[in-house]
A and B are shown apart, each in its own frame.
Chain A
Amino acid sequence: MRKLVLLSFKGRKRELRISIIMLVLIYMCGIMTILFQESFYRSRENLRRDTYGEWMGAVFGAGEGTGQILKEMESTKRIGKMVMKGSFWQDGKRIGEAGFVDHTAAALGRIQTAEGHLPSDGTEIAVTETVAGRLKEKVKIGDKIELALSENGEMESYTLSGIVKPWGREWTTEKHELPSVILGTDGTVQGETYLFFKSDSTDELNHIQARLETLGEGTYVYNEKAYPLDISVLDEFFLEGKYIFFIVLIAAILICYLMMLTLKSRRYSLTVLRGIGADAAEVIQLVLWETAFLWGAAFLAGVVMSAIMTGVVLYMVHIIVKIPVHFTIPAEFILEYITCVTVIYFMCNLAGALTVIWSQIRTTFKYDSGLLEGGALPKLTKAEKITFFTCLKRKWMFYNKVHISRFAVSTIVMVLTAVCLQLFIEAKDKYEFWMGAVEYAYGYEADSLAEGLTEEQIVELERIDGVKSVEKDVFINSNTMTQDMEGVQEIKISASAFKDSEYVNTHRRYEQKQRQIPVDEEGDYFSVLELRGLGPQDEERLACYERASDMGTLDRERFISGEECVLILPPYQIRDLGGGKEPVYVNTVEMDESRDVYTYEADENAIAPGDMVKISTPWGEREVQVGAVITNPEADLSVDTQVAAVSERFVNLLCGLEEERYTAVKMNLDETADTAGTGAEIEAYFEALGKGANLRNHKSAVRSFAEDSIFDETQYLFILTTVWLVYMLVMYHGNQAYLKNEGKRIGVLRAIGMDRIMLKLRYLLENIFEGGAVILLSIVIVTGNFLIRLKKNAPYDSINILVQSLADNPEDVRLFLMALLIAVTVFLGVSIVTLYMPLKKLSGRSIVENLDDGERR
């Protein structure tokens, strides 16, 4: 039987080549998808955990009860402990926070030593690089360091065992300091205990949180940055092997397709074998031997080539885009895939053999019913005239399966391409944006105005070597700055004249609804989320207010000193721009004709320059005179429109602060200087102030965004490449098989007098119609997807707003159109290569060759 199989192979070289290439590609694409996905997914996971720690949850300020609960949890595998001991001092200067970190916590928190090792006993300490720079003398590993646990406490001597890299800065939120001086023992001094843990199950984490809340001990924090809850659709889809089903499904479709390509000729030869006396067992044996030979060759080539190709591509990704991708081999997934594909392949072949065994042995094969075999003939309406459209319609009626499958495959690929391209271009733009936004800067944002930096502190920061400039801002926010306060907190701008104003009442109602706080139907005030102070440096905004005020004039001096404010009351409409309906200021161009416009009427509301308004906040209240009012709908208020514009001084006075403070401070570093050294000094300065937790390094934060984007970019590119590779293959072989059937038709048409040009034109038109329909349908689907995604990112609640939103964001439209254009171009390119080339070959052959091709089928 083996000999017979080998002989049969000799006579079917072309068919075998197709089968082996297809099978190799099926193995290769599948295995490469698994290897890529797993390598990308794990690399991305490692990067996140390198940056944000491996711990999944943490309890800051934990007690014994917490430890007990965590130990009881089956899914909680590792629990690390950290005990804070207070600040370490040296010669009256605060050096850093001391704390004991056990090995598990050190591993979960990813503490890395720059030199030496972590302390192993109570006589040793390890310090961060920042702390090392703050010590009075330069130290090296093994040196003795004298430190005290209070400002005037008794000094104790420790041996420096190691210097650790800055750690945990990215996740020290919630005002919880982490140790910068690491002790080797828990010691006798009791301190606040932090427990870090890693769990296998995110479901159980919710349970832990609920139990800890009941216990009322410490603050529970989930490490969302390392284990993001809001993962992309793509990540979710590919998460933990769920995609195996998907790629096996694609492989199964391709195998069925492969079978369809070869089944006709196989059925013929197997039927002939049956006809000359082969029994069922012999036919099955023959098919199994053949399958085994083909499978063996394809399997070996597929596995070897996929491993080599993945290695090469990952190396290129590493070299070109410089992201740390590690080659991960998920053996169980690959084994699952190989097993499934192998079983499907053998089953399909076996099924093919069984259909021959079960079917009647026929000695003649009707050529023209080949494609119709088993199906009923369509109902005929005789054509009065045979036009191009009649021919097209008849072909669609007769060969609908072929056309529908081609149509469906092309549409799916077009849609996938356009969507992936759009996501790819978005990710690419995002990457370029973040890389462009990588700035050498530090930012500080205070939790309240009282914790803001003083003018004197800002001057000190400006003096640090390598600090190019310091930007400062004053604002109070009734949402982010009131988390420690009980009850609902609002910033109100009130005046008795506002009481019956529809403009004010509607504005307040929707602001309160949007913030999900109780709605006051009868108030005499505006409710605003934030109050931002302006200083003399905000020239552009002050000039804008001066230009736009249509009642009264802005007295800059009185405004800056906090005696005057500007009321900004242009027309608004209620719109849903995400997170509920809210007032949106509009000018005549942006007005949506279908909606109500709320306009401030001076007579009705009776507030005018010179009147007093009261501004009440959770931190204090103060009256201020109205200097100017802006009601002009054409005012250029593109910069931070609020109900009331006040000065920095006013905000400070409102909060009862005599000395001015700044809530947001940004330190821009000189990129040409020693940014690491400058950064260390800034960090040390803020840590010494006890405000280190609110300091952010813009560069590292931005870089992690950029790295996330490039992972997305590479993944979409990979999906695109795989989809197109498979599509090219499917279309090429599909069209070859289709045109092989068409060879006979071409021969007949040529024989009865159709010339070559007409013939080509006819096929070209047919495909233009089919391609046009594919493109149209794809455009509809892709546009729908675009609008749905747009609604998710930038909600719109009417067509007018959608149109306006698109006009305001031409970049989104450009990306969408660009993706669509590329998809259409590639589709046309593939169509030309896979359809036109074989057609050209067929129409170039003689009539006899084409007719004979049909006879030989």
Chain B
Amino acid sequence: MGVILSARNLQKIYDMGEVKVEAVKDISMEIEKGYFYAIIGKSGSGKSTLLHLLSGFDRPTKGTVEIGGKDIHNMKDDRLSAMRRKKMGFVFQSYNLLPEFCVEENIRMPLYLDHTRSKRGYIRNLMEKLGIYELRLKFPGQLSGGEQQRVAIARALAAQPDIVFADEPTGSLDQQSGREVLGLLKMMKEEWEQTILLVTHDMEIAQTADRIIEIQDGMVVERGA
């Protein structure tokens, strides 16, 4: 398996007026294709910031992030956006679905933006696997938290991306729903050989991952299988 993402000397400093907060301190790492990674750390450790930097949601103060050999922070906005549509998928703690579109429309949204179509029957298959096919014509406002998160996962996988970033995907869910969502993510990874980078503060969740990266005070303190 090759390296899909590599980060070099990543640093992020937040300027809070008189105080400067260094959220990420000189982190370098490589993410290999087809693995499920869990980034774990306490609240305020910098794990979410690291995920935002790795996914190109936020710009680092220093350092580079390469996906498929290209530095995403030096890319033009349209190129980076295209990469997000084709190669990346995102799952958020608060689902972030578009409330005025139904489940199926939300799932297909990255494809619409990219003016492409999925393989025949792929979206239906995806929805069936995630158990949301029956809900496809409902609005997000009519779904439970767990159901919304399944829709968010389906949206993240719609374009069959190389890598999926998940920021505390179970954070807003009860234990049962959280477990289900996690199982689905793993199942998707197995099925389509995707790389998953998940941020969590829960060790129990992290232990289900193939590899664990522990963050403490903005630094990687441990990498493990």
Contact = CB atoms under 8 A, between A and B. Distances in A.
Nearest to A397: B100
Interface in B49-99: 52, 57-59, 77-78, 80-82, 84-86, 90, 92, 94-99
B104 A752 contact: no
A471 interface: no
Contacts of B100: 394-395, 397-399
A753 B113 contact: yes
B46 interface: no
Interface in A360-392: 366-369, 371-372, 377, 380, 382-383, 385-386
Contact of B98 (A369, A748, A756): A748
A747 B137 contact: no
Nearest to A755: B81
B186 interface: no
B210 interface: no
B133 interface: no
B47 interface: no
Of B59, B97, B100, B114, chain A has the most CB atoms within 10 Å of the CB of B100
A623 B146 CA distance: 107
A751 B114 contact: no
A305 interface: no
B150 interface: no
A380 B102 contact: yes
B141 interface: yes
Please tell me the size bucket of the interface on B. 35 or more
Nearest to A759: B81
Contacts of A395: 100
B208 to A, nearest CB: 25
Contact of B112 (A380, A386, A751, A755): A386
Contacts of B99: 368-369, 371-372, 398
A678 B42 CA distance: 100
Interface secondary structure of B, over-half rule: helix
Interface in B142-173: 142, 155
B57 A372 contact: no
A750 interface: yes
Given A394-B101, A748-B96, A752-B84, A368 B110 contact: no
A95 B154 CA distance: 107
Interface string A741-770: 000110111111111111000000000000
Contacts of A744: 96
A109 B205 CA distance: 97
Contacts of B209: none
Contacts of B58: 846-848
A752 B109 contact: yes
B178 interface: no
A596 interface: no
A851 interface: yes
Interface secondary structure of A, over-half rule: helix
A809 to B, nearest CB: 50
Contact of B84 (A380, A383, A398, A751): A751
A74 interface: no
B90 A752 contact: yes
Nearest to B90: A751
Contacts of A383: 105
Interface string A554-598: 000000000000000000000000000000000000000000000
A380 B113 contact: no
Given A382-B104, A386-B112, A752-B113, A377 B139 contact: yes
B98 A755 contact: no
Contacts of A855: 94
Contacts of B57: 751, 846-848, 851
A752 B92 CA distance: 12
Interface in A450-490: none
Contacts of A399: 100
B140 interface: yes
Given A395-B100, A398-B100, A756 B108 contact: no
Contacts of A756: 77, 81
A750 B98 CA distance: 12
Contact of A755 (B78, B104, B137, B155): B78
Contacts of A757: 77-78
A680 B109 CA distance: 88
A745 B110 CA distance: 14
Contacts of A366: 141
A372 B142 CA distance: 12
Interface in A379-420: 380, 382-383, 385-386, 394-395, 397-399
B137 A380 contact: yes
Interface in A819-857: 846-848, 851, 855
A377 B142 contact: yes
B221 to A, nearest CB: 24
A368 B137 contact: no
A757 B82 CA distance: 12
A385 B112 contact: yes
A733 B175 CA distance: 42
A215 to B, nearest CB: 78
B96 A851 contact: yes
Contacts of A748: 96-98
B149 to A, nearest CB: 13
A672 to B, nearest CB: 73
Nearest to B56: A847
Contacts of B139: 377, 380
A642 to B, nearest CB: 71
A848 B97 CA distance: 15
Contacts of B52: 847-848
A372 B141 contact: yes
Contacts of A398: 99-100
B108 A386 contact: yes
Contacts of B97: 368, 748
Nearest to A846: B58
B98 A745 contact: yes
B61 to A, nearest CB: 13
Nearest to A850: B57
Nearest to A756: B77
A383 B59 CA distance: 36
A383 B108 CA distance: 11
B96 A750 contact: no
A371 B59 CA distance: 31
B119 to A, nearest CB: 18
A848 B56 CA distance: 10
B141 A377 contact: yes
A369 B98 CA distance: 10
Contact of A369 (B77, B80, B141): B141
Contacts of B109: 386, 752
Nearest to B156: A752
A744 B98 CA distance: 9
Contacts of A397: 100
Of A382, A747, A753, chain B has the most CB atoms within 10 Å of the CB of A753
Nearest to B81: A755
B102 A382 contact: yes
Of A366, A751, A755, chain B has the most CB atoms within 10 Å of the CB of A751
Nearest to B49: A848
A368 B140 contact: yes
A755 B77 contact: yes
Contacts of B114: 753
A367 B141 CA distance: 10
A745 B113 CA distance: 14
Given A367-B94, A382-B104, A753-B86, 5 more contacts: A368-B97, A368-B140, A380-B102, A752-B84, A846-B57
19 contacts: A368-B95, A368-B97, A368-B99, A368-B141, A369-B99, A382-B102, A744-B96, A745-B98, A749-B98, A749-B113, A751-B96, A753-B113, A755-B81, A756-B77, A757-B77, A846-B57, A847-B52, A847-B58, A851-B57
Interface of A: 366-369, 371-372, 377, 380, 382-383, 385-386, 394-395, 397-399, 744-745, 747-758, 846-848, 851, 855
Interface pairs A-B: 9 shortest CB-CB: A753-B85, A755-B81, A368-B99, A394-B100, A398-B100, A386-B112, A753-B84, A847-B57, A755-B78
